[in-house]
Every structure is written in C-alpha cells, then in structure tokens.
Structure 1
C-alpha cells in the first residue's frame, strides 16, 4: 500500500523527469527539478519597460512565473506537501517563492484539471533575467501532517486544479 510519494504526470512521461529526492539522509525536503527550460524575468526590468504605459499596465505584466516540475504527489488525507524555496535562491539569484510557501493538498493529486501537476511560483527581484535549465533544482517539498478544528465541517470535493478553491 502506498503512503506518500511522487509520480511523473502523463504529459511528462517521455521527458526524462527525475522524481524528487532528498540530498542527504537527514534532509527534511525532497528536491524538485524544473521540467523544462524557463526564464524568470526581472521585475524591475518589466516595470521600467511598461512604466510608460501607466501603473495599471505595469501591475498586470509583473506576475509570478509558474515553473513546471512534471511531478504529482500522493499522500494521506491528513497530510499536505509544503513547497519551499531553496535557501540559495534568494541569496544568490534574487529568486523568491511569490506565495511564500506552496501548499499541495492531498486532493490535488489526479484532479481533473491538471492531474495534480506541481509547479513552483517564482518572482525575480534581481536586475537581470534568470534562466532556469531543465533538471536544475528549484525548490523542495516537505510532507507534513495537519490538524482540524473541532467544528470543522468542510465537505466540498475538489473539482479543479491550481487555485480551484478560489472559485468557491
């Protein structure tokens, strides 16, 4: 019986994707790799380029970039996968997780919208664009338990993928 782990999504089956793994025996996080080459544009460059179009235009163009991993994750109902940045990303590359941390719920796995494809949401606060190569380690995932409040009555089933609970 499977408890928790990782699988490659159907869309990336033939693209030589590595499953996340821990770098050392005492590491808490499983290292995720980028599934394809991608560019994280510098926010300052984007703002300056679009400043002449007005503040509203600049705010619309300066958005986080989703970096695909080609990975989905299964786990117990009272667990979640926390996505965290690599400690070297902000220090060496000015790259931060736009949402602070990512939360992958157990019912995200195999959802009908995107099969539970895990993506990291990055912003680049440096002065130059960041070029991420396929196979480059971009973040880490940590399996964690969570607790429910006494009066918890959540009964709605997930019907979508990324951000689907925003629709409720």
Structure 2
C-alpha cells in the first residue's frame, strides 16, 4: 500500500483540493476547509456570565453551566478529505502556526491522530475534521478553501510485550472507547 489522500464521497463534486505541501522541505500537508464555516468566539453567551459568577463566589445554574460548556466545546470544521496509509503509520493533524497568532484559533487537544484503520470506516468514510476553538473576541469566518490545519505522516512503535490486540474500528470519533 501507499499513503495519500482522497476526497470523501459527500464532497466528490465540490471542487476540493487534496492536501498539499507548499515548500520542498515542508513536513506538513495543508488541509483546507471544505465549506464556509463560522467559528464563534468563546467569549460569547453564558461563558462570561459563569466566569463572573465563579470569580465572585456565586453559584451558577445547571442551565448556565451547560450553555457555557457548549461554547467551550471544539467545533469540527470539515475538510472533505480522508487519508490512507500503511499499517504502522498514522497521520498527525496539527494546527497551522499562523492560526493562533493571526486568527486566535487553537486545537484543543494540541494534535489529532488519524489511525490507518480510520480510512473508509463504516461510520463516516474516514472523513477528517479539524477540531478548532476560537479564543478571540470576534467570530472567525473561514472560507471554503482556506488552509486550516496540517497533516504529517509518521510511523509509530509498539511495546515489545504488548498483549495481542483484536479490536477493530467500528466507526469514527471515539469508536474504540471502552
């Protein structure tokens, strides 16, 4: 097998670009947004109200806490792309260095790991999304085709005395949770 990218069937006729490297020595393949997307600022809504209440030692209602937590949840920005690779490899998804500095966008988990068996899974065909949070005070409008993340193919090692793993992937995000 080889490694590379394909467009997921949902976006087959949408004129998307496969991820690409912009310079000869670039490690990362730039991923673009598959659609126009607005990332709301975390400073909107009940989040500030709850912070104020916490700061002043006041309790918050469950409704306010739930609304604030919803604002802090990452947004999944579709790329319309899936990645195939060899056994023993993965695709590391990382933020573009310009996102935090210029746009206040961060990946909440720092990186994302796309396993080889995520490709063409039954749940979502292996569609890759960029998880982003907008830490700025204004909403960020991402246009279709804007670069939002980068992917780096890499290999991994396993423990010598690891027990035999028999679990197979059944879906997308969090499909192997116990």
Q: TM (normalized to structure 1)?
A: 0.93
> Displacement of 1:50 after TM fit?
7.5
Choose from 129, 134, 137 the match for 2:144: 134
> Displacement of 1:30 after TM fit?
0.3
Of the two, which has the highest radius of gyration? 2
Give the conservation status (yes or no) of the 8 Å contact 2:5–2:83.
Answer: yes
> Displacement of 1:70 after TM fit?
0.4
Aligned pairs for 1:7-46 (under 5 A) are 7-46=6-45
> Structure 2: any 5+ residue segments left out of the alignment?
52-59
> Displacement of 1:88 after TM fit?
0.4
Q: What is the aligned partner in structure 2 of residue 154 from structure 1?
A: 165
CA distance in 1, matches of 2:74, 2:132: 5
Q: TM (normalized to structure 2)?
A: 0.88
CA distance in 1, matches of 2:13, 2:23: 28
CA distance in 1, matches of 2:137, 2:70: 19
Stretches (4+) displaced over 2 A: 48-57
> Structure 1: any 5+ residue segments left out of the alignment?
none
Aligned length: 166
